[in-house]
Amino acid sequence: MELVLWHKIALTLGTAIGMEGVAWWAHKYVMHGWGWAWHKDHHEPHDNLFEKNDLYAVVFSILSMTLFLIGTFWVTPLFYVALGILIYGIVYTVFHDGLIHQRYPWKPVPKKGYFKRVVQAHKVHHAMINKDDCVSFGFVFALDPQKLHKKLMAMKAERQPSSPVGEVSAEG
């Protein structure tokens, strides 16, 4: 199948943009779900160079490499899907590992605008250590950190018992 240039660009950019939705879903339902064993150490303080959580990058890289291979030899559009996944992976690594978690030698600290918003939203996500009490599962597109904080506080309040300690409820 021969693709024209604008099809290649659209498929690549569409996949790169769409990967934020895939990453959001995977972060919320896999990493904070059945895959928590790999993701847990990412929410805990440590001095290690690598985390079990980095295994997710390996899995997505293998997926992308497989799609590159299939796209190169059999199904051409998959090559551009793989390219979109690769572009998203690079952006994710720069934002998440570099800007937010500062895992690189340079330590940029954004003072305003979009980059500050991304950092703040992710800090709200990491405000809770357990897998169930988190908000903000995106990586590149960040919601308003103040709204996320309010949502987090509302979730926390819902989990608090409504009656004071020592008081017996009508049911008990």
- The pLDDT of residue 157: 81
- The pLDDT of residue 78: 98
Residue 27 to residue 139: CA distance in whole angstroms:
9
Closest CA relative to residue 129, chosen from 49, 51, 36? 36
Beta strands in 16-78 (DSSP E): none
- The pLDDT of residue 172: 43
- The pLDDT of residue 168: 45
Which amino acid belongs to residue 131? K
Query: What is the CB neighbour count within 10 angstroms for residue 122?
Result: 22
For the chain of 172 residues, list the mean pLDDT of each consecutive stretch of 10: 92 98 96 96 90 95 97 97 97 91 89 92 86 87 87 82 49 46
